[in-house]
Structure 1
Amino acid sequence: MRLALPVLGAQLAQVAMSTVDVAMSGHASALDLAAVSVGSSLWFPLVLFMIGTLMGLTPIVAQHVGARRFSAIRPSVHQALWVALAMGLLCALATRTLAMPLFEFMSVPSDVAVLAARYLQGVSLGLPAIALYETLRFYSDGMGHTRASLQFALLGLAVNIVCNYTLIYGGAGLAGLFGQALPSILHDLPALGAAGCGLATATSMWVMFIAMLAYTRLAPVYRHARVGTRFSWPSPPLIGELLRVGLPVGVAIFAEVSLFTLIALFLAGYGEIVIAAHTVALNFSSVLFMLPLSLGMALTVRVGQALGRGKYRHARFVAYNGLSCALAAAAVVDIILVLAGPAVVSLYSGDTAVRRLAVQLLLIATLFQFSDALQVSIAGALRGYKDTRIIMAVTLISYWGVGVGLGNMLGRGVHGWFDGLGVYGYWIGLVAGLSVAAVLLGWRLMITSRLRRLSAAGP
């Protein structure tokens, strides 16, 4: 819990940054809000893919720490930084060059597309920085120092709020907030709207990276890792190790994100009430999902460090103990969904029909909290074992095969057999997909932990 709670705070702070972007751009104009929403749907999945790939650094560092191989940590971090820089630059180039063709393909209205492209031009300036920051964050997590994630996520949130207000609303907005006694240079700032939101996001990304870089270079908690060469060129073996561990995680996260995007597209034909209720229920449950997600990330560190020390029986104990914590967290989330759901939903929408349907969907969400908490925690434990390819395979089978396939069948129905259940069918498909993932990953963890323990015992 000491490892997980700072990670939880960091995850919530990053969610808050997205919420602030939406809220502040929405107060500028409906066009700015639409541009930010459309632009975010393009760059956010790319960043999650990068983050998942770079997450492979955490078990690598954790096992080095557990084995007291401190001289091996710095070279691994250097190689991860090279990978992060390359991925950040490629994602920045992709968002700048592919935005308008994709918007035209998706039939996005021209005024929204143009403004969304300007927003993405600003965000793209910060994508290399966020990739480098996440690398240092996962290095810090692997060292067992997760509080840094919380500290610099809060710093990024604060910078994002200030820069958003300044760049979105310009001098007129600042004058309305602080009065007319502002320096003339601030009075003359233009209101950039969505484009300013993109620049503010990029600024917060660079501030987070620079602050995290200075912290990891100076803080005493990292002194054991500051041994060996101070610089190393790209090393194919070490980069290969990172990609073998991290790339399947990146693919798995991208598949999960695209699953929810695809379901939203399937629901587009059911009307605005269904779409709005689905968005509200999914957003609220996703915020609560940060608790089991943080436990899974903490499990990666604890399992990895135990394996590094050669304590395979203890690693297995830690993994199953973490699953117990995840089930307890799921019970807490269910209580919140049932008791606080109606009140929270009313904060999202004043439409009675939207609120009624959203509450009903939250009741379905209580069914998949346990399987969702289990699968994300088991995946965290498997990352600690560096056993990540199975996570990618199970995610693709469970989410796309079961979740999308069964959900689409239940939602649309089968001609001549039964009528579709609509949005309820898609949510039942989510329950089934997450449950299958929990079972398959649990089976894999049982086998992996047992084989690792038996191989250590010898003949």
Structure 2
Amino acid sequence: MKLVSRRFALESKRLVQLTWPLLVAQITQMLMGVVDTVMAGQYNALDMAAVALGFSITIPLMCFLQGIALALPPIIARYQGSKASGQVAFAAQQAGYLLLILGVVILSLYPAVPAILRWFPMEAGLYAITLDYVRYVLLSMPAFALYQWLRNYCEGLGNTKPTMIITVIGLGFNILANYLFIYGAGPIPAFGGAGCGIATAIVISVMFVSTLVYTAKSKRLHHFGLFAHIAPPSLKMMIRTFRLGFPVAMTLLFEVTLFAVVALLLAPFGATTVAAHQVALNFSALMFMFPLSMGMAVSIRVGYRVGQNNLKQAATAVNSALCIGLIVAVGTASFTLLAKEFIIDLYTQDPAVSSLAAALLIYAAMFQFSDAIQVISANTLRGYKDTTAMFVITFFAYWLIGLPTGIILGRTDWLTAQPMEAAGFWIGFIVGLSSAAVLLGARVYYLVHRQRPTAHLQQGLSGTL
């Protein structure tokens, strides 16, 4: 019993050490989008709308690259756990080749941007600003791909603090670059909302270069020799990495597009409903950073422990992550309920929006428990390299259970006296996320217990990452 408690305490401590820098980095990354919107809005409403629209077009592309890069941490954590450090550099280099190719492929969309934007009917002024914003951001896609590569290389080796520091510096640089290119200064003309695109491209490039310099100079990473010997591209290894990362990328896209589709489906109910939905959704996204960061940490720990063939300790890491995640969910849900008026006042002073947002925040508090379980479980599967199951389950739960439930409750009177509007869609979120939590949790349970009987388990506490 004492050994079990020591194992649990060990994994809990290491998870927290890995998680808090990831949490700061994720929140800081979110704040960059908030800063872009606020600063463009202070210029004028048209530019703010263009930035919001341009962001909604480019974020799926960035999520795709990020999803592919997320295949790297469990791969190299497993090599590190198995003491095969010599394989780390090779695997990382192949992931770098893959991500650079994908970044260039996305950049090649540059000439097609006008045609893509014509899919979205808009006035001429809005079209022109959005076009410029998207084009500027696309120019940084190779740099973004390589930044994600190096970031996930560091994180996969348990080195999460550099990401936090570089992202925080990036936020400060983003504010300065936004000011210079939105409003203009000295020889720099005022670009308005398009200036956010320029600032974003510059900040991404600066973050890539900063991470590159750190990775090349770090004494902690020197042992792995990422740049000591550059291996030629291996199509076989790149395909393996892509096959592992593609389901992760698609899972991210499922979630991003789900919330975008719901916003469109709520549009017929008017601006008040959409605004209240956005308030609740934006705050929920902030709270989601807590379990997401824990999930990213547990994927590293599971990969490392599986590499050691210490599957009992991998299971302990999963249990620790779920316990911590649920404890944090109690805290965030309680805060959401007790401070909802304060939260809403940060977003709006409109009485109608505030009233509806207060009701939606109750649903937001309810689904934080399911959200914690599903995202930690999904990242656990990533650590076990079981990403196909994650892909299938999330698609089924989000799009075949959650969204239809939301449409039936929100847009029809099939089950209720009248359409529940936004509340119906939020119940759909709860149903979808709860379904994902149950199915992903069951898959994790199956994996953990399937592997235990056949593995040669290491009982000791040595070899901590």
Unaligned runs of 5+ in 2: 1-15, 458-465
**Contact 2:378–2:390 (CA under 8 A) maintained in structure 1:** yes
Q: Which residue pairs with 2:143 in the alignment?
A: 129
- Aligned-residue offset at 1:416: 9.0
Write the mapping of 1:26-425 to structure 2, written as runs, cut at 5 A. Answer: 26-94=41-109, 96-171=110-185, 186=186, 188-226=187-225, 230-414=229-413, 418-425=417-424
Which letter maps to 1:73? V
- Aligned-residue offset at 1:422: 1.1
Which letter maps to 1:14? Q
- Aligned-residue offset at 1:49: 1.4
- The 2-side partners of 1:412 and 1:275 are apart by 14
- The 2-side partners of 1:48 and 1:433 are apart by 21
- The 2-side partners of 1:381 and 1:315 are apart by 9
Unaligned runs of 5+ in 1: 172-185
Secondary structure of the residue that 1:192 maps to in structure 2? coil
Secondary structure of the residue that 1:193 maps to in structure 2? coil
**Contact 2:409–2:415 (CA under 8 A) maintained in structure 1:** no
- Aligned-residue offset at 1:229: 5.6
Q: Which residue pairs with 2:429 in the alignment?
A: 430
Say whether residues 1:9 and 2:20 are aligned partners: no
**Contact 2:409–2:416 (CA under 8 A) maintained in structure 1:** no
- The 2-side partners of 1:150 and 1:62 are apart by 19
Secondary structure of the residue that 1:68 maps to in structure 2? coil
- Aligned-residue offset at 1:448: 0.8
Q: Which residue pairs with 1:183 in the alignment?
A: none
Which letter maps to 2:84? R
Which letter maps to 2:138? S
Secondary structure of the residue that 1:3 maps to in structure 2? helix
For residues 56-88 of structure 1, the C-alpha deviation after alignment (integer angstroms, 9 at most, x for no partner) is 001001101111111101111111111111111
- The 2-side partners of 1:204 and 1:262 are apart by 29
Q: How many residues in Structure 1 have an aligned counterpart in Structure 2?
A: 442
**Contact 1:71–1:227 (CA under 8 A) maintained in structure 2:** no
- The 2-side partners of 1:191 and 1:36 are apart by 15
Secondary structure of the residue that 1:33 maps to in structure 2? helix
- Aligned-residue offset at 1:103: 2.7
- Aligned-residue offset at 1:227: 6.6
For residues 74-115 of structure 1, the C-alpha deviation after alignment (integer angstroms, 9 at most, x for no partner) is 111111111111111222232x33432233222122210111
Distance 1:375 1:14, change over 3 A: same
- The 1-side partners of 2:312 and 2:359 are apart by 43
- Aligned-residue offset at 1:378: 0.7
- Aligned-residue offset at 1:153: 0.6
Which letter maps to 1:262? V
Secondary structure of the residue that 1:105 maps to in structure 2? coil
- Aligned-residue offset at 1:414: 4.1
**Contact 2:216–2:227 (CA under 8 A) maintained in structure 1:** no
Say whether residues 1:24 and 2:42 are aligned partners: no
Secondary structure of the residue that 1:419 maps to in structure 2? coil
Secondary structure of the residue that 2:17 maps to in structure 1? coil
**Contact 2:93–2:226 (CA under 8 A) maintained in structure 1:** no
For residues 305-354 of structure 1, the C-alpha deviation after alignment (integer angstroms, 9 at most, x for no partner) is 11111101110111111111110111111012012221121111110010
User: TM-score, length-normalised on structure 2?
Assistant: 0.93
Which letter maps to 1:41? S
**Contact 1:120–1:198 (CA under 8 A) maintained in structure 2:** yes
- Aligned-residue offset at 1:370: 0.4
For residues 195-250 of structure 1, the C-alpha deviation after alignment (integer angstroms, 9 at most, x for no partner) is 22111110000100011011011111102211786212221221122112211000
- The 1-side partners of 2:172 and 2:53 are apart by 24
**Contact 1:70–1:227 (CA under 8 A) maintained in structure 2:** no
- The 2-side partners of 1:10 and 1:104 are apart by 35
Secondary structure of the residue that 2:455 maps to in structure 1? helix
- The 1-side partners of 2:226 and 2:55 are apart by 40
**Contact 1:119–1:194 (CA under 8 A) maintained in structure 2:** yes
**Contact 2:174–2:199 (CA under 8 A) maintained in structure 1:** yes
Distance 1:258 1:82, change over 3 A: same
- The 1-side partners of 2:415 and 2:389 are apart by 38
- The 1-side partners of 2:115 and 2:443 are apart by 42
For residues 397-456 of structure 1, the C-alpha deviation after alignment (integer angstroms, 9 at most, x for no partner) is 000001111110111124597422111111000000000000000110011111222221
- The 2-side partners of 1:376 and 1:339 are apart by 24
**Contact 2:177–2:199 (CA under 8 A) maintained in structure 1:** yes
- The 2-side partners of 1:127 and 1:355 are apart by 38
- The 2-side partners of 1:229 and 1:9 are apart by 31
**Contact 1:291–1:329 (CA under 8 A) maintained in structure 2:** yes
**Contact 1:307–1:315 (CA under 8 A) maintained in structure 2:** yes
Secondary structure of the residue that 2:349 maps to in structure 1? coil
- The 1-side partners of 2:302 and 2:134 are apart by 38
Secondary structure of the residue that 2:398 maps to in structure 1? helix
Distance 1:98 1:276, change over 3 A: farther
Which letter maps to 2:386? D
Which letter maps to 1:46? L
Which letter maps to 2:73? T
**Contact 1:100–1:114 (CA under 8 A) maintained in structure 2:** no
- The 2-side partners of 1:275 and 1:227 are apart by 48
* Structure 1 range deviating more: 225-234 or 32-41: 225-234
* Structure 1 range deviating more: 145-154 or 105-114: 105-114
Which letter maps to 1:70? S
The sequence identity of aligned pairs, in percent, is 37
Distance 1:334 1:415, change over 3 A: closer
**Contact 2:408–2:414 (CA under 8 A) maintained in structure 1:** no
Which letter maps to 2:352? A
